[in-house]
Amino acid sequence: MDLARRELRRLLLARALRALADGYVAVLLPAYLLALGHQAWAVGLISSGTLLGSALATLALGAFGHRWPVRHLLSAAALLMAVTGAAFGAASGFLPLLLIAFVGTLNPSAGDVSVFLPLEHARLATLFEGDARTRAFARYTIVGSLSAAFGALLAGLPAWLAAAQQVDPLSTMRAMFVLYGAVGLGVWALYRGLPAAPGHTGQVESAPLDASRPVVVRLALLFSVDAFAGGLVVNSLLALWLSTRFGLSAAQAGAFFFWAGLLTTASQWLAPKVAERFGLLNTMVFTHIPANLCLIGAAFATTLPLALVLLFLRSALSQMDVPTRSAFVMAVVTAPERPAAASYTAVPRSLAAALSPTLGGALLAAGFMAMPLALCGALKIGYDLALWAALRRHAGHER
């Protein structure tokens, strides 16, 4: 158990560093692209490119990843993160930026949709069982949310440095992407220190998806609806919406995402306690529906304070399903299939989420300001109801 806890600490620190960098990149991305002279539709298209690239990488991971140790795959992904930051900070043209976004590890969303996620989930699932596993996933999610919240605050750093040092704001934004690459090197060092085999003594060799395929297919299809909806309001587009609708600067948007992230963190801390009492599936569904009603309300809010209150309420509820969803997937599949299940449930999410930012950016560019948020909320409520109807019979196998 001590070995498992040491490995958990190392994974949590890597997650914290990645989330810190993702937090400010998601907020800075639209400001950076607009400063380079690109339009709102380009923000959506490049956001889609990042998610599509992650989806294809995760698909390859699900098909072939069991041939290599997870530790080596994580190290390779961290090196790709380092290259991504350096390249994105140096590029200016739309096509080079789109290519880097597609190949690299940038994450424009509030959650982690990168190739790191299924690898770390599969590793975490081997360390603990039952409620201990749910708590481990909750800690993993909480660390990510809290770090992303503080990362969002860093989105105001380029403007502050530009004013304090009398330098071009674009140069300070470029430096933040280079810093993203430096964080990748730190994450690589952490992954290199992972033990050759997971700390849980009951670990078995990973295998491609087989016996658990039916339930994984159902989960993957349902998760894809949720991800498509979420892609309409990834953080980069929500920051653009706040800027266009209410005139918020990147620094002000970063402050909003900081406080929203703290609310998300608090809710994720409560998630395993709620799940122990009501079950994983119930927690996933019945915290998600009111969160999406708040999002629909924010879409039609006529004042900034009302919109912010509704968005904060959404943040306090919308991510309680994240640790419970991860634990649910790991609980209803066999142990050898967990790495493949994590990948195959992540792939449709990434593919679906890759399509919608382009649509969301186009709707915003066309002046349909309420549509991305309202459509997101409606689709997510439909997902919640379908998830409940399809998987109620698996609720007894959540351990």
- Which pTM does this prediction carry? 0.69
Mean pLDDT in residue range 3-18 = 90
Higher pLDDT, 242 or 166: 242
What residue ranges do the domains of the chain occupy? 2-198+209-397
CA distance 87 to 101: 10
Instruction: Report which residue type is found at 379.
Output: L
Q: Is 201 exposed, middle or buried (0-12, 13-18, 19+ CB in 10 A)?
A: exposed
As a whole number of angstroms, the distance between CA 135 and CA 105 comes to: 27
pLDDT over 50 (residue 176): yes
Supply the pLDDT for residue 118: 79
Residue 269 makes CB contacts below 8 A (sequence gap 6+) with: 138, 142
Residue type, 66: H
Hey, what are 239's tokens?
């920051």
Of all residues in the chain, the percent with pLDDT exceeding 70 is 90
Lowest-pLDDT choice from 188-202, 210-224, 353-367: 188-202
Per residue in 216-268, pLDDT (tens digit) is 888 888 888 998 998 899 888 898 899 999 998 888 988 999 999 889 888 87
Q: Single out the residue of 142, 21, 251 nearest to residue 243, CA to CA.
A: 251
Query: Which is more confident, 209 or 98?
Result: 98
Work out the pLDDT band at 202, boundaries 50, 70, 90. very low
Top pLDDT among 207 and 65 is at: 65
Cα–Cα dist 97/89, whole Å: 9
Q: Which range has the worst mean pLDDT, 179-188, 295-304, 388-397?
A: 388-397
pLDDT, one tens digit per residue, over 84-127 is 999 999 999 999 999 999 999 888 775 666 788 878 887 887 78
239/256 Cα distance (integer angstroms): 9
Residue 376, token pair as written in the block: 């997101």
CA distance 325 to 228: 17
pLDDT of residue 199: 44
Q: How many CB atoms lie within 10 A of CB 185?
A: 13
pLDDT at 331 over 80: no
- Supply the DSSP string of 142-190, one letter for each residue: HHHHHHHHHHHHGGGHHHHHHHHHT--HHHHHHHHHHHHHHHHHHHHHH
Q: Which phi-psi region, left, alpha or beta, contains residue 106 (left: φ > 0; alpha: ψ -120 to 50)?
A: beta
Neighbours of 291 (CB within 10 A): 22
Q: Any idea which fold 2-198+209-397 has?
A: Growth Hormone; Chain: A; (1.20.1250)
DSSP 8-state class, residue 393 = G
pLDDT at 60: 76
And the tokens for 96?
């080079």
